[in-house]
Amino acid sequence: EVHLLESGGGLVQPGGSLRLSCAASGFTFRDFAMCWVRQAPGKGLEWVSRLENDGRTTNHADSVKGRFTVSRDESKNTLFLHMNSLRDDDTAIYYCAKDGAAWSLDNWGPGTLVTVSS
Amino acid sequence: QSALTQPPSASGSPGQSVTISCTGTSSDVGGYNFVSWYQQHPGKAPQLIIYDVNKRPSGVPDRFSGSKSGNTASLTVSGLQVDDEADYYCASHAGNNKRVFGTGTMVTVL
């Protein structure tokens, strides 16, 4: 059974940095691209970033480009989201999700809350 | 990349059907057959219910069906049940390995 578990969320001041982690199990992690999706309080889903299984090819939403980067550690089956220059509107629950067939996201973690506030 | 447009709400009585639309552009919904739908109960993570426009993952009841015409995709929930009350989001491939989600629809079972 696929299991994804995010961690690293918390309260950070505007302009600060934070690194989120997503521990994966139950599938061959190195074979799949992974994504980050966020959801601001009371709002809809927003795709944030994607990292190919090659560990190098990344794509980001325009709203985070240049501020967020994504990486993975195959030895630890872990996906990371490195967030810099955080803004108030980055406040959200951040989910990691596994790429599925036809560009779907077939498994999701429970999410971790990031609050950007002074 | 603008969010896909969904109606804010939809409702139906138990046993009835409800259809949710998801309107994009030729750069996303209309340009690819890569539309997926997600169900999200309050306080929970989203769950995939439809992918590739009209395919269901294992374990998803056939009461859920998807379709697409031009720039608009649709999700139909037939035989509404109380547990179907949730938020529903569409998503589409949007070129350059990017995705875009819909604005979300709250389904209420009356």
Following DSSP, what letter does each residue of B75-88 receive, concatenated? EEE-S--GGG-EEE
Q: Which residues of chain A have pLDDT under 70?
A: none
Identify the pLDDT of residue B12. Answer: 95
- What residues of chain A lie within 8 A of the CB of B89, using their CB? 44-45
Residue A4: what pLDDT? 98
What's residue B96's pLDDT?
86
Chain A residue numbers with beta carbons less than 8 Å from the beta carbon of B57 are 100, 106
- A108:B45 CB<8 A: yes
All residues of chain B having their beta carbon less than 8 Å from the beta carbon of residue A104 are: 34, 36, 48, 51-52, 91
Shortest distance between the Cα of A4 and any Cα of chain B, in A, equals: 11
* Exposure class string for B15-45: b at 16+ Cβ within 10 A, else e: eeebebbbbbbebbbbebebbbbbbbeeeeb
pLDDT at A92 (0 to 100): 98
Contacts of B91 in chain A (CB under 8 A): 45, 47, 104-105
Contact B91 A47 (CB under 8 A): yes
Contact between A102 and B36 using a beta-carbon 8 Å cutoff: yes
Min CA distance, B108 vs chain A (Å)?
17
Selected for mutation to probe chain A from B41, B97, B100 (highest A CB count within 10 Å) is B97
Contact A45 B104 (CB under 8 A): yes
Give pLDDT tens digits for B40-95.
999 999 999 999 999 999 999 999 999 999 999 999 999 999 999 999 999 999 98
Least confident of A57-61, B32-36, B95-99: B95-99
Q: Which residue of A has its CA nearest to B6?
A: A44
- pLDDT at res. B97: 87
pLDDT at A85: 98
User: Strand locations in chain B, DSSP E?
Assistant: 9-12, 18-23, 35-40, 47-50, 64-69, 72-77, 86-93, 99-101, 105-109
Q: Is residue B1 pLDDT above 80, yes or no?
A: no
Residues with Cβ within 8 Å of residue B70, at least 6 apart in sequence = B30
Nearest alpha-carbon partner for A37 in A4, A14, A11: A4
